[in-house]
A and B are shown apart, each in its own frame.
Chain A
Amino acid sequence: MVQAHSSEWLQAAFSDPVLDAQLSFRTALKALAEPGLVQTMDRALELDSLQPATYALCLSFLDGDTPLWLAPRFDTPMIRANLAFHCGCPIVAEREMALFGLLDESELLDLSDFDNGSERYPDQSCTLLVQLSSLDNGPQLRWRGPGIKDVQAVELPVPAGFWAQRKARSNFPRGLDVFFAAGEHVMGLPRSTHVLHNNHEEAA
Chain B
Amino acid sequence: MHSDPNVAKRQHWMGVLARAAQQLQPYADALKDAQYSHIRHPEIGMTLVRGRIGGTGEAFNLGEMSVTRCVVRLEDGRIGFSYVSGRDKQHAELAALADAHLQGSQQQHWLRELIEPLAAQQQAGKAAQAAETATTQVEFFTLVRGED
Q: What is A's interface to B at a CB cutoff of 8 Å?
A: 1-3, 7-8, 10-12, 17, 85-86
By a CB distance below 8 angstroms, the chain B residues around A86 are 40
Asked, given contacts A1-B103, A2-B10, A2-B103, whether A7 binds B79 with beta carbons under 8 Å apart, the answer is yes
- Give 13 pairs: A residue, B residue, CB < 8 Å, sorted on A: A1-B6, A1-B103, A1-B105, A2-B7, A2-B103, A3-B6, A7-B81, A8-B77, A8-B79, A12-B39, A12-B40, A85-B39, A85-B40
Query: From A12, which residue of chain B is reached at the shortest CB distance?
Result: B39
State the Cβ distance, B4 to closest chain A Cβ, in Å: 10
Check B107–A1 contact: CB distance below 8 A: yes
How many cross-chain pairs have Cβ atoms below 8 Å apart between A and B? Answer: 29
Specify the main secondary structure of chain A where it touches its partner: loop
Check A17–B43 contact: CB distance below 8 A: yes
Besides A10-B71, A17-B41, A17-B43, 20 other A-B contacts (C-beta < 8 A): A1-B6, A1-B107, A2-B7, A2-B9, A2-B10, A2-B103, A3-B6, A7-B79, A7-B81, A8-B77, A8-B79, A10-B39, A10-B73, A10-B79, A11-B39, A12-B37, A12-B39, A12-B40, A85-B40, A86-B40
Query: From B38, which residue of chain A is reached at the shortest CB distance?
Result: A12
**What sequence of 0s and 1s flags, for each residue 99-123 of chain B, a beta carbon within 8 Å of any chain A beta carbon?**
0000101010000000000000000
Q: Which 7 A-B pairs have the closest CB atoms?
A: A7-B79, A2-B103, A10-B39, A12-B39, A2-B6, A2-B10, A10-B79
| Residue picked from B9, B38, B43, B79, most chain A C-beta under 10 Å | B79
State the Cβ distance, A192 to closest chain B Cβ, in Å: 37
A111 to B109, CA, bound (A): 57
Query: From A8, which residue of chain B is reached at the shortest CB distance?
Result: B77
State the Cβ distance, B108 to closest chain A Cβ, in Å: 11
Q: List B74-104 residues whose CB lies under 8 Å from chain A.
A: 77, 79, 81, 103
**What sequence of 0s and 1s flags, for each residue 33-45 of chain B, a beta carbon within 8 Å of any chain A beta carbon?**
0000111110100
A1 to B110, CA, bound (A): 13
State the Cβ distance, A107 to closest chain B Cβ, in Å: 30
A2 to B77, CA, bound (A): 13
A11 to B77, CA, bound (A): 10
